[in-house]
Amino acid sequence: MRYFEVLKKIRARIRKTLVDRTKSKSFYPKFYWAYWHYFIFGGNSKSSFEINFLAGVPNRSAGIGHQLANWIAGYWFAKLFNLNFAHVPFQSKKWEYFLGLGQDEVLVDDLINNRDFQTVRLPMFDENNFHSLELIRKIIQSYSSRKVVFILEQDQFYKDQYGNIGELKRKFFNAKCRTNENLKYSNNFFNIAIHVRRGDIVIGQQNQSHNLLMRWQDNSYFEKVLNKVVENLRVEKPIAIYLFSQGEIHDFPEFSKFNNIHFCLDMDVQESFLHMVYADLLITSKSSFSYKPALLNNGIKICPERFWHNYPKTDDWILVDDNANFDTNKLLNYE
pLDDT in tens, 14-59: 778 888 888 888 889 999 999 999 999 876 555 555 689 999 999 9
Cβ 27 vs Cβ 135: under 8 Å: no
What is the structure's pLDDT at 216? 52
Rounded to whole angstroms, the Cα distance separating 137 from 143 reads: 10
Produce one character per residue of 183-199: b if its CB has 16 or more CB atoms within 10 Å, e if not. eebeeeebbbbbbbbbe
**207 has pLDDT over 50:** no
Cβ 73 vs Cβ 54: under 8 Å: no
Element (H, E) at 93: helix 93-99
Task: Outline which parts of the chain fall under CATH 3.40.50.2000.
Answer: 190-334
Query: For 266, phi and psi rounded to 5 degrees?
Result: -120, 15
- Name the DSSP letter for residue 155: T
Is residue 325 classed as helix, strand or coil in its secondary structure?
A: coil
pTM for the complete prediction? 0.87
The answer to which of 115-124, 276-285, 299-308, 324-333 has the lowest mean pLDDT is: 324-333
**Cβ within 8 Å of residue 297, ≥6 positions away:** 276, 277, 278, 279, 282
The answer to which of 84-88, 158-162, 330-334 has the lowest mean pLDDT is: 330-334
**284-320: pLDDT as tens digits:** 999 889 999 999 999 999 999 988 899 999 999 999 9
CA atoms 137, 139, 144, 149: torsion sign: negative
C-alpha distances in angstroms, 160 versus 128, 230, 302? 11, 30, 17
Edge-to-edge strands, sheet with 190-195: 261-264, 239-244, 190-195, 281-283, 300-304, 317-320
Edge-to-edge strands, sheet with 106-107: 106-107, 84-87, 53-55, 148-151, 118-121
* Burial of 59 (C-beta count, 10 Å sphere; 0-12/13-18/19+): middle
Average pLDDT over residues 157-184: 87
**Cβ within 8 Å of residue 246, ≥6 positions away:** 198, 199, 265
Rounded to whole angstroms, the Cα distance separating 277 from 290 reads: 9
Cα radius of gyration (the chain)? 22
What is the structure's pLDDT at 314? 93
Q: Give the fold, CATH level 3, of 190-334.
A: Rossmann fold (3.40.50)
